[in-house]
Amino acid sequence: MMHATKLTLGAALLSATAFGSTAMADDNETVDHAEIGSLSCDVGDGTGFIFGSTRELTCTFNPIEEGLEDETYVGEINRWGVDIGKTQNGQMSWLVLAPTEQEYYEGGLNGSYKGVSAEATVGVGAGANLMTGGSENTLALQPLSVNTQTGVNFAVGVGEINLQRVEG
């Protein structure tokens, strides 16, 4: 069982990474991007219901530029496809990219990000999310994130993340 889970996780991560590498290569050919910070999210506990799931997110954007305050975002991640099992203690992280370093503005990560998502968990597990999009298409999440969590779960499908800045 454990060997099969490792193979499944490996296949899921390999597929997402291969797809992500292709998408990143296409993006890099047409647009250069500057890293402006990082986004770290805590993912709410949840249960997959075979054809999809929704989990709440609480995220912190940490800008690289000195003197800028961290920003808090809330939102949700939705998945459509195969999602079976229960997870807890989930975390995701991305680099945040912009066409130039001057493109940053407060609340700039508000918006919807769509892409491909895959994960496998037995005890402690991992996954990958290929997500692009964002507010006015000026800021974007690095297309490939890696997440960790605990529980028993298998998920492959289309994912969407919606983020909204918390004022204050």
pLDDT of res. 21 = 39
Lowest mean pLDDT among 52-66, 89-103, 114-128, 152-166: 114-128
Write down the domain spans for the chain.
2-166
Q: Which residue has the higher pLDDT, 82 or 21?
A: 82
For residue 36, give the nearest of 65, 72, 76 by alpha carbon: 65
Of all helices (H) and strands (E), which one includes residue 2?
A: helix 2-30
User: What is the DSSP code (8-state) at residue 45?
Assistant: -
Contacts of 145 (CB under 8 A, 6+ apart): 92, 93, 94, 128, 129, 131
Summarize pLDDT for 24-51 with one digit per residue, the tens. 444 444 557 789 999 999 988 877 666 7
Answer whether 129's CB lies under 8 Å from 159's CB. yes
Per the CB < 8 A criterion, the answer to whether 35 and 95 are in contact is yes
Confidence of residue 17 (pLDDT cuts 50, 70, 90): very low
pLDDT at 116: 77
Residue 130: strand pairing partners: 116, 144
pLDDT higher than 50, residue 6: no
- Rounded distance between C-alpha atoms, residue 2 and residue 73, angstroms: 36
Q: Which pair of tokens denotes residue 27?
A: 């993006």
